[in-house]
Structure formats: C-alpha cells, structure tokens
Amino acid sequence: MSLLTVQGLGKSFGGVKAVDGISFEVAPGELLALIGPNGAGKSTTFNMVNGQIKPNTGSITLGGRELTDLKPREIWRLGVGRTFQIAETFSSLTVVENVQMALISADGRLFSLWRKAAEHKRAEALALLNQVGMAAQADRPCSVLAYGDVKRVELAIAMANDPKLLLMDEPTAGMAPKERNELMALTKRLVVERGMAVLFTEHSMDVVFAYADRMIVLARGRLIAEGQPAEIRDHPKVQEVYFGSGKTFEKKTPGTPSLQEAA
C-alpha cells in the first residue's frame, strides 16, 4: 500500500511544460530517488508535493488524503517534511536549541515565556540528536560544526515533526565522499527504523545507486523510466538522456555501478 500517490501531475510555466503528466508512488519505508538532467522537472515536482507550487493537472495524495488544495504548512502538519540543498539551521543557536525550536514549532505552540528556553523540550531534542549521532555535540553552536554534522542536525530537525514522508533536495551536495556515505547510511537507517518514506533528488549517481531502493527518471518533464537501480542503469532511454550531459553510466566491476565524468 503506497503512502504517497502522484497521478497525472502537470505544471507549465508559460509555454514550458516543466512537469508533464507524471505518476508514481512511494511506499512507507522506501527510499525513492528522483533523478534527471538539469531542467528535467525535479524541483518543480518537489515543490508541488510540499504545496509551494500548485499543479495545473493531476492529484497528489498522502495516505489517501488529497494535498493539492492545501497550503504548505497544512501539508507539513500532515507529515511531509523537507530538507534543503543547503542545510538550514540557525548558526547562532546551539545544536540542541535548533532541535528544540523545531519541536516547539511542530507542537504548533508559541514559545511559553514562563519556561526557561534551555529546558523546553530538551530531553526530547536530545533523544532526536542521539538518533543522528549528535547528542555529544548538543551544546555546541551550529556555527562551529563540520558541514556533515550540520546535515545530521538538519535531519534531527526534520524528524521533530515526525514526518511520514521526507523530501530531501540533493542531500549530499557539497559533501566529501566519506561524509556523503555516512549521511545516506544514516538516512537509510532512519527510513528502516521509523518506517518513514524518503523521496530524494541527487546528482551524485554513486549515492543513488548505493542507497536508493527504487528510482524514477524524469527528462523534459516526462517520467521516462522507473525501477530498481540495476534496471535503471541499463535502461536505454536513461542512457540516451544522460548522453551528452557529460555523464555516462559505467560498471567498474560487476555489480558495482559508478558514474564516470567524461573528459
């Protein structure tokens, strides 16, 4: 049974069909990668799922509930979280304060002045930081963290709303290979442990092939392929759209896919 169901989704900007009647599903506990060359319609799709852009056609349902007529805040409340290409944390606050703020926001309450900021939901925030391996750094300001650690804090912030579906916009952009793998392994663990679904875009094909359970491929707004990473790598239409972009899929050794940058 799917959690997110997208049917016939379309959006045009002037004469450009940014997204052209796409349909796909995401199941609970699934890590689904959305890939495609520049301008394929990935961001527009993301922005429609979280309500920032209204589609011209089609429907998006979460657990059977239609989302297309809801505001972004209402969609977030129903359990659709998002992380961004550049991590969004308050650098002047400590790690734990950032998560505390998110917990307060998820409660939908204004900060109560009669309680000290330092105590508000601290235990809950620390439990979330523990899940992402950041409890030991709870009282450090976010501004002094390594970028990979900021991304972990961002995940804890996203978890504060207990999302059923997390949209991750190029989660590993700007990260070194080791950090990339650590972040994706952590994401995979959260998906399995919480039964959460993740829909993510990613330009790094190594990450996609190593961690995605399934992939969907967009080109010029259309969904051109869908399947397991191994099926997608060998898919002729996918090879075709990536040909000319400077990227080709190649197998280094049998069963170890990688992306080669053409000279």
Ligand X SMILES: Nc1ncnc2c1ncn2[C@@H]1O[C@H](COP(=O)(O)OP(=O)(O)OP(=O)(O)O)[C@@H](O)[C@H]1O
Residue number with CB closer to ligand X (36 or 81) = 36
State the Cα–Cα distance between residues 30 and 15, nearest whole angstrom: 35
Residue 52 CB, shortest distance to ligand X, in Å, is 10
Alpha helices for 24-146 (secondary structure H): 42-49, 72-78, 95-107, 122-131
Residue 92 CB, shortest distance to ligand X, in Å, is 30
Task: Mark the segment that binds ligand X (CB under 6 A) among 31-39, 104-112, 160-168, 176-184.
Answer: 31-39
Task: Mark the segment that binds ligand X (CB under 6 A) among 1-9, 40-48, 89-97, 225-233.
Answer: 40-48
State the Cα–Cα distance between residues 89 and 143, nearest whole angstrom: 9
Q: Which residues pair with 250 in a beta bridge?
A: 258
Count of positions on this chain that bind ligand X (CB under 6 A): 11
Cα-to-chain-centroid distance, residue 113:
34
Q: What are phi and psi of 8, to 5 degrees?
A: 55, 35
Task: Mark the segment that binds ligand X (CB under 6 A) among 36-44, 108-116, 181-189, 229-237.
Answer: 36-44
Q: Could you give the C-alpha distances from 255 to 19, 209, 220, in angstroms and in order? A: 33, 10, 29
Would you count residue 9 as binding ligand X (CB under 6 A)?
A: no
Residue number with CB closer to ligand X (124 or 226) = 226
Would you count residue 41 as binding ligand X (CB under 6 A)?
A: yes
Give SS3 for 192: helix
Would you count residue 40 as binding ligand X (CB under 6 A)?
A: yes
Would you count residue 16 as binding ligand X (CB under 6 A)?
A: yes
Residue number with CB closer to ligand X (39 or 227) = 39
Q: Are 172 and 204 in contact (CB under 8 A)?
A: yes
What residues numbered 142-181 form the site for ligand X, per CB under 6 A?
A: none
Residue 43 CB, shortest distance to ligand X, in Å, is 3
Please return the burial class of 186, using the count of CB atoms within 10 Å of its CB with bins 0-12, 13-18 and 19+.
middle
**What angle separates helix 147-159 from helix 95-107, to the nearest 10 degrees?**
20
Q: Which of 39, 63, 72, 227 binds ligand X (CB under 6 A)?
A: 39
Q: Which of 1, 15, 38, 119 binds ligand X (CB under 6 A)?
A: 38
Would you count residue 111 as binding ligand X (CB under 6 A)?
A: no
Site residues (vs ligand X, CB under 6 A)? 13, 16, 18, 36, 38-44
